[in-house]
Amino acid sequence: MILRLDDTDVERNTAASVNSIFEGLKWLGLSWDEEYKQSERGELHRQMADAIFHKGHAYRDFTPAHAGDSERSGAQGTWLCNPGMRELSREQSDRRAAAGEPFALRFRVPREGGQVVRFTDAVYGEQGKASADIEDFALLRSDGMPTYHLASCADDADLRISHIIRGQDHLSNTYKHVLIFEAAGFTPPQFAHLPLLVAPDGTKLSKRRHGPVVSVTTYRDAGFLPEAFINFLCLLGWSPKNDREQMSVQELVDAFSLEGINRPNAVVNFKESGDVGRSLLPANSVPEDTFDPKAIWLNAEHIRALAIEDLSLRLLPIVREAAFQITPEKILRITPLIRERIKLLRDVLTAADFFFVDQLPPYDPAELIPQKGDMATARTVLQRAKEVLANVEFKHDPLDQALRTAAQELGIKAGQMFQPIRVAVCGRKNAPPLFETLEVLGRETSVARIEQAIRKIA
């Protein structure tokens, strides 16, 4: 795999944008064998420009800006060329260039004979455009810098690129690129243009307009699995023949074909509420409901498919980065209790927070009251639970048996016994299975929290 940074646009080429690209690719596990920057290959680009010029397929344009004497004969009155420069003799052109007069080098698009530029796109099929409707586009700017069109074609030819797969918004550029390849003596590669990813309002995704929600690293920091995010991206504008949705990276590689790509643009259904989409909040603070629901669903499915050992290794750094001191052994015991309860990796901090803290945050004592019970029932349950847990073996089956027996002795249902205990040790009703939770928390912590709960209702 070749990574090439098309960085000839100086204004848009910033260290921050380049670093973001590298970070995103590394997180996704998309490694590369060779790396190039277009800005470092200017000599190659100018060699191709010179070759095209000396074949008569380009000319020097000494006009500062095409206005006034421009020819506006294209569709809808678009600018096509400056006839005065296009018809300038080679001798006059050489003389003015030798005198140091600045110029842009423009491609001499054929305008006679009804020529049509054609190519077959692997997604959009047969494409054709009359060359008379294509402007004399620049190959070199007046400062000598290559344009995107020239640099891309020169690099593609030099690196022997066989297929060019890019966004549908480049479809119109391809006519120019076909002309460049043919003028330079190269067979054009196979082109395939992909549907664009657009926002819910139909606009093209833009960090400037939509904020961090369109950045790959935002998904990383929010707790998406890289393989789940790749799965989500692949299903935007493409689908396998059997309409499967949850797929591993290897399954995606095996199933992918250009024939399965849809032509309409694909909508990323993220939520823009107020200034959320454009906020400066850290990525791990972006609300979950901001993201596309299908991305969340796929991530949850991939989390459930992970081996416990693998998932625990991914959760451990998130917990530690939140300043909780936890051992790999403990997070391994916690992971199976929350795997079905989290959609994003960062959810471990809310689904399992009571495992990490020494003191539970405040909670409403009324939560301790079991269904069809009262505060007196809760107090009785907790007193009996304290006695039972002080002596029982802290394993699932003994805990289960001892607490169910205690419920029978108190003449209440098992659920009425379990709820006050769950709230006392977890600080809430919605928590992982009780006996497994008690086993991980251990006797000392469990009994201490029950004692604290008794004091709340004493």
* pLDDT exceeds 50 at position 105: yes
Closest CA to 122 of 318, 258, 7: 258
- Angle at CA of residue 176, ends 25 and 149, nearest 5°: 45
Check: CB of residue 322 under 8 Å from CB of residue 254. no
* pLDDT exceeds 80 at position 312: yes
Percent of the chain predicted with pLDDT > 90: 78
Residue 9's contacts (CB-CB under 8 Å, 6 or more residues apart) are 148
* Predicted pLDDT of residue 280: 43
* Predicted pLDDT of residue 72: 45
> In the predicted model, what is the mean pLDDT of residues 104-128?
95
* pLDDT exceeds 70 at position 86: yes
Binned at pLDDT 50, 70 and 90, residue 69 comes out as very low
Token digits for 367?
């939560």
* pLDDT exceeds 50 at position 101: yes
**Cα(80)–Cα(74) distance, integer angstroms:** 6
- Angle at CA of residue 334, ends 332 and 337, nearest 5°: 125
> In the predicted model, what is the mean pLDDT of residues 374-403?
96
Check: CB of residue 316 under 8 Å from CB of residue 331. yes
**Cα(110)–Cα(218) distance, integer angstroms:** 47
Binned at pLDDT 50, 70 and 90, residue 10 comes out as low
Token digits for 449?
């929290």
Token digits for 428?
């809430």
* Predicted pLDDT of residue 73: 47
* Predicted pLDDT of residue 209: 84
Token digits for 400?
């289960």
* Predicted pLDDT of residue 344: 97
**Cα(447)–Cα(382) distance, integer angstroms:** 10
Taking each helix axis from N to C terminus, what angle separates 434-441 and 443-457, rounded to the nearest 10 degrees? 110
* Predicted pLDDT of residue 18: 85
> In the predicted model, what is the mean pLDDT of residues 396-402?
97
Q: What letter does residue 42 receive in the DSSP assignment?
A: H
* Predicted pLDDT of residue 281: 45
Structure confidence by residue, pLDDT tens digits, 214-241: 889 999 999 999 999 999 999 998 988 8
Binned at pLDDT 50, 70 and 90, residue 207 comes out as confident
Token digits for 215?
């950045």
> 27-36, 140-149, 267-276: which range is least confident on average?
267-276
> In the predicted model, what is the mean pLDDT of residues 178-207?
94
* pLDDT exceeds 80 at position 74: no
> 275-284, 303-312, 441-450: which range is least confident on average?
275-284
* Predicted pLDDT of residue 125: 96
Structure confidence by residue, pLDDT tens digits, 147-164: 999 999 999 999 999 999
* pLDDT exceeds 70 at position 279: no
**Cα(158)–Cα(13) distance, integer angstroms:** 23
